[in-house]
Structures are given as C-alpha cells and as structure tokens.
A and B are shown apart, each in its own frame.
Chain A
Amino acid sequence: MTAPVVALEGVAKRYGAAAALARIDLAVPRGAFVVVLGPSGSGKTTLLSIIGGFVAPSEGRVVIDGADVTALAPAKRPTATVFQDYALFPHMSVAGNVGFGLAMHGVRGAERRRRVEAALALVGLAELGRRGVHQLSGGQQQRVALARAIAVEPKVLLLDEPLGALDLALRRQMQDELSRIQRRLGTTFLHVTHDQDEAMSIADEIVLMHRGAIEDRGPPRRVYLRPRTRFAATFMGESNLIEGRVVARDRTGARIETPLGAFTLACEAPAGARVTLVLRPEHIALDPPAEGALALGPAHITAATFQGTNVRLTARAADGSPLLIRVPPGREPAIGATVPLHAAAADVVVLPGEG
C-alpha cells in the first residue's frame, strides 16, 4: 500500500469550549475520490478548511504528501479548493481566473496559455476563455472554479459542497463530470457534501461525519448495506431500527428477541446484551425470500407514497411499532390491509443496542 496523500493525525478543533472536531485520524489514499459526508454542523467543512490551511487545528498534525504542513499558509500548500459559492474573481475574464494560480506560481507566457486552455478544455469550456465570469450561467461558473483549481495541479483537490447551488438535473450531470475528470487526472479529490445520494454516486470511499467525529468510513456499498453505527444507518438513507436482546447464543450466531419476534442472526454480542437490528425499507418483502427467511409477523399498512421507482409504505407492526417498507410500484397492498412481512437474515445488520 502506498503512503496516503493526506494524513490527519489527532486533529482537533475547539472554538472556546465547543469542540468542532474531536481528535480525528484520517488517511486519504492517493488518487482516490473521497467524499466527506455529514449533516450541517458535523465538522466536515472545518475538516476541509484545516486541510486547506484556512483554519488552524487546536491540536494534531496535517501531513500532505509526506510533509508536515500544519503551520503552512494556504498559499504554500499543495492543495487547491473549489469553494461553495465559487469565489471567482469578478473583475477577470474566464481565462484570467483559470490562469491566476499559474501566474502566482510564476508560470508565464505560452506555457501558461497552454495550461489554461488544457484546464478549460477538460471542463468543457474551451471556447469561453475571453468571457467575463458574470456573463456565465451558474453551471458554467462552477466549471470555471473547477478549472481554476485544477490548473495549478494540486496534490489534492478540495471541494466544499461545490454542487449545492445547482438544480437537480445539473447536479447529476456535474457529478458525472467530476467522476470523469477525477479518473482522467488521477488527482486525489476530497469532496464535502451533506447529500448522501451525491456521496454514493461519486465516492470511491465515504467518510461519514457526525458531531465532529468520524462515524463510519468505507466504500459506499459497504457503508450503505452494512452500516457500523445507528447514525450511519439512519443518515445514509432510511432504516428501520428494531431494538432487541440476545437471549441465547452458540458459535455461529445468537437468538435475538424483538417486538417483531425472535430471530437467529450472526453476531458477536454476548448473551444478555441489548442490540439494535437495522433493516432497510427495501429489504422488507411481502413474500418470503428463498434463503434465510425471517418472518416479521403481520403489519397494518397505514399510508403509501408513490416515489417513481418505488412505493414507500408506512406500516404498523403487531406491537404497534412503525415500519417503513419500499416495494416496486404495482406490488403494494391496499392501505388498511394487514399483510405478513418477511426479510432475509443476510440483509439484517446487528448493532450494539442503546444504553
């Protein structure tokens, strides 16, 4: 394994008594597209600002490409940032914006023109170099901001919620573009967002943050399908959380009693431990699955919302606890019906319980 391009070692940030970041260790692999995901106030933007050099950590070290940059100003770091509201230079042309970093690094004349043109071509704005930035649409300004940061060939590109201001269709399109550009350049991208769909569609690796700490981290598929914490299970899409207790266990698994029934599941928890079962709404089925079927008992359907690719059902289990279910359109039972529910044991994630 090669050395990480960015390494945070015990980085913490406090504002007075409030902790924005609590001793974070993070290694960003070279050439990866890493998305830092979290709700507002989770510390994700602070993390990015510390790496970019705009915020000094209260403790800990920031290492980029093997060098300790903790005390270095942003201008001296091998990072470049795509800012949330683009922060383009309004008094310069598109080419002036893209060439600014190169000029500051002493790249002149034909070499600078060549690199500006290459960066603009990469983001699909090759023809617009002479325009003023206020003549561009929001999506085009976004591309200029990206080209401007790419032009200086940073070791790591920092993106601070860059797609937040775009409408949904444009955001999808820019997500694809970002993935394409990242693969083409091979530069490490560190992208901050609160949008879990965006994170899942572009990330090689998701770093999920909550209250100034890293909750979970891994490939999107793993973080979504096998969340490691309750927060991960509920922030990354919807989940049903079912409280239970281990009543008996053997070498392969445990017998867990829940309000929906007793199930035998693979887990490490000792007998007597409280556990939480995580079950995605799309993993609850109306028909029993072929393998490892668990019967969740009958449930009363109380509401249904058509969402295009699926129908989101709200149901009430026999004990009164609420359940969310997703089924393909046309397969949903009528509102008011009572239907038996099933799940596959392999889809259930067992987490340590609360308290």
Chain B
Amino acid sequence: MTPMRRLAAIPATLTLAAGYVFIFLPVVVLVLFSFQDGLLPVPPLKGLSLRWYAAVFANHRLMAALGNSIVVALLSSVAATGLGFLAAYGLARRRGRFTGLAQYALVAPLTVSYLIIGLGLLVTFHLLGVPKSLLAVGVGHVVINLPLAFAILYSQMGEHQAVVERAAHDLGASDLEALLYVTVPMLWPALIASFCLSATFSWDEFIIAFLLSRFEVTLPVTIWSMLRSGLSPELNAAGTLVFVISFALVLAVELTLLRRARR
C-alpha cells in the first residue's frame, strides 16, 4: 500500500470506529455499571463488585419473571418454527393459484409495528374473552415470529432441496417418509436458526408482553416496572443477563447458518 493510500484510509477507519462506538457504547455502559460497587449506576465507577448480581438472583420477583420469559420464549419459538416450517413446506412443494398471495400474506406482518400487533391482539382477545396472561403473550410472540420463521425456512427449500426430495420419492419414500428422513434432517440447521432467532425476539420483547400480561409477567416488563422506582445497578445486572442470553442465541444462529453456508 502506498503512503498516500494509507492516508486516504484514515477517514474511513475513523467513521467505522465512530459507528461501532455509537452502536455499542450504551451496552458497554450498561454492562460496566452492573459491576458498580455503589448505589447508583452512574459515573464515577467506585469499584467492581458482583453484589448486584447476587441481589438479582435473590430477587424473587425477577427470578419468577425470568422463569416466565424462558417458558414463553421456548414454547412460542417451538410453535412459530413448527408452523413456519409447515407453511414453507406446503407453499414450496404444492404450487397453487394462490401460492404467491399466501406467501406475501405470511410475511406481511413483518412490516407491522409490535405496538399495532399488540393493540390488535388486546382487542381481539377481549372480544374472545381470553384473559391477559402468559398464554396471550406467547400467542403474540408466535404472531411476530411466524413470518420470520417462514421466511428463513422457505429460503432453504429451493430447487436443490426439491430435487433431493424427488430422489427420495423416486426410491419409494412416501410423503411422510421423505419429510421425516430427508426434508427435516436436511433443514436441521435452518430449523435451529429459526428457533434461536424467534427465541431472541421473544426473550427481550416488551410492548406485546406489557399489553397482554397482568399478574404473571416477563422479564422485560418486570425490569420496566422496577425502573419506575429509580435507577439501580441491580437493573443493570438484570439487563446484562438479558443481553448475554440474547447474544448467546444470536451466536448460535450465526454458527448454525454459517456452518451450512460454508459446506
């Protein structure tokens, strides 16, 4: 590289660095002050301590909410991935007159804000007489994650996958046998990716969970209601735990999808 070129690269590098700082600074601050050895999560940093993590794990309200969040994330993601798979398989393999329309209709909810979906569900559940509950929150999370699961799985059911399924049929497999022995095993990475991504979105989703729950609530809703009584490093610690688990799920997606792409 010529010196001139190297000089020209400096503004680009600085811009990139500024971008990263902009994105990650809030998270870094959150995590850093969860270790604050003091009563307020604001500078100056008085020393490092794990006392607020101990407080989180001793807080029954937070622990109950954590359990609720895990149950909602797991069950709603299984449902979203399962339904998304069946929709993708059906639309990819049985081409009909309304296939294109059905495809758009399935993906369309991605463009609707969570607030609108939450409001819509609130009104609908009220009409149907379904009380505010974790079940209602779970249904809401299936609604937001189904389009995503469908899009991920549909993208993996291309021509190559279709020909391999055709080979299975050619060798005597019934529809069910081809599905169980060929389609699902081949799509395993995409199914895991879809599940993890759904779980990530369910895990830190706030608006729908806030609108549709009452007595039993999820972790983001609990953190929000604790925030109303003021800042505390305990909330930073709880937030850090939420972040770490989200990050682990996204990492799992990257690893499964990237491994597949490299093959």
Residue A104 interfacial (CB < 8 Å): yes
B167–A104 touching, CB < 8 Å: no
Which residues of B sit under 8 angstroms from A74, Cβ to Cβ? Answer: 166, 169-170
A152–B167 touching, CB < 8 Å: no
**The one of A76, A80, A85, A105 that contacts B163, using a Cβ cutoff of 8 Å:** A85
Which residues of B sit under 8 angstroms from A355, Cβ to Cβ? Answer: none
- Chain A residue nearest to B159 (CB atoms) is A85
Q: A42-85 CB contact bits vs B (8 Å, 1 = yes)? A: 00000000001110000000000000000001111001110101
- Chain A residue nearest to B187 (CB atoms) is A91
Residue B177 interfacial (CB < 8 Å): yes
Known: A100-B181, A134-B263. A87 touches B166 (CB 8 A): yes
Per CB-CB distance, the 10 closest pairs between chain A and chain B, nearest first, are A101-B171, A104-B172, A87-B167, A87-B163, A91-B185, A87-B164, A74-B169, A74-B170, A104-B173, A81-B170
- Chain B residue nearest to A98 (CB atoms) is B171
Which residues of A sit under 8 angstroms from B166, Cβ to Cβ? Answer: 54, 74, 83, 87
Q: A104-122 CB contact bits vs B (8 Å, 1 = yes)? A: 1100000000000000000
Residue B182 interfacial (CB < 8 Å): yes
State how many angstroms separate the Cβ of A98 from the closest Cβ of chain B. 10
Residue A235 interfacial (CB < 8 Å): no
Q: What is the number of residues of chain B that contact chain A, defined by CB distance less than 8 Å?
A: 19
Q: Report the Cα distance A71→B263, complex, angstroms.
A: 38
Interface of B with A (CB < 8 Å)? 160, 163-164, 166-174, 177, 181-182, 185-186, 188, 263
Residue A148 interfacial (CB < 8 Å): yes
Q: Report the Cα distance A54→B162, complex, angstroms.
A: 12
Q: Report the Cα distance A152→B168, complex, angstroms.
A: 12
Q: Report the Cα distance A81→B164, complex, angstroms.
A: 11
A152–B172 touching, CB < 8 Å: yes
Which residues of A sit under 8 angstroms from B185, Cβ to Cβ? Answer: 91
B171–A80 touching, CB < 8 Å: yes
Q: Report the Cα distance A324→B234, complex, angstroms.
A: 90
Interface size grouping (class) on chain A: 20 to 34
State how many angstroms separate the Cβ of B182 from the closest Cβ of chain A. 6
Interface of A with B (CB < 8 Å)? 52-54, 73-76, 79-81, 83, 85, 87-91, 100-101, 104-105, 134, 148-149, 152
A75–B167 touching, CB < 8 Å: no
**Supplied contacts A52-B170, A90-B164, A90-B186, 14 more A-B pairs, CB within 8 Å:** A53-B170, A54-B166, A74-B170, A75-B170, A80-B170, A83-B163, A83-B166, A85-B163, A87-B167, A88-B167, A89-B167, A100-B181, A101-B171, A104-B168
Which residues of A sit under 8 angstroms from B177, Cβ to Cβ? Answer: 104
Which residues of B sit under 8 angstroms from A100, Cβ to Cβ? Answer: 168, 171, 173, 181
Q: Which of B160, B177, B181 has the most CB of A within 10 A?
A: B181
A105–B186 touching, CB < 8 Å: no
Provide 19 A-B residue pairs closer than 8 Å at the C-beta atoms, listed in order of the A residue.
Answer: A53-B170, A74-B166, A75-B173, A76-B172, A80-B170, A83-B163, A83-B166, A83-B167, A87-B164, A87-B166, A89-B164, A89-B167, A90-B186, A91-B185, A91-B188, A100-B173, A100-B181, A104-B177, A105-B172
State how many angstroms separate the Cβ of B164 from the closest Cβ of chain A. 5
State how many angstroms separate the Cβ of A232 from the closest Cβ of chain B. 32
B164–A104 touching, CB < 8 Å: no
- Chain B residue nearest to A49 (CB atoms) is B166
**The one of A52, A54, A75, A89 that contacts B174, using a Cβ cutoff of 8 Å:** A75
B186–A91 touching, CB < 8 Å: yes
Q: Report the Cα distance A340→B185, complex, angstroms.
A: 70
Known: A75-B173, A100-B181, A104-B173. A89 touches B168 (CB 8 A): yes
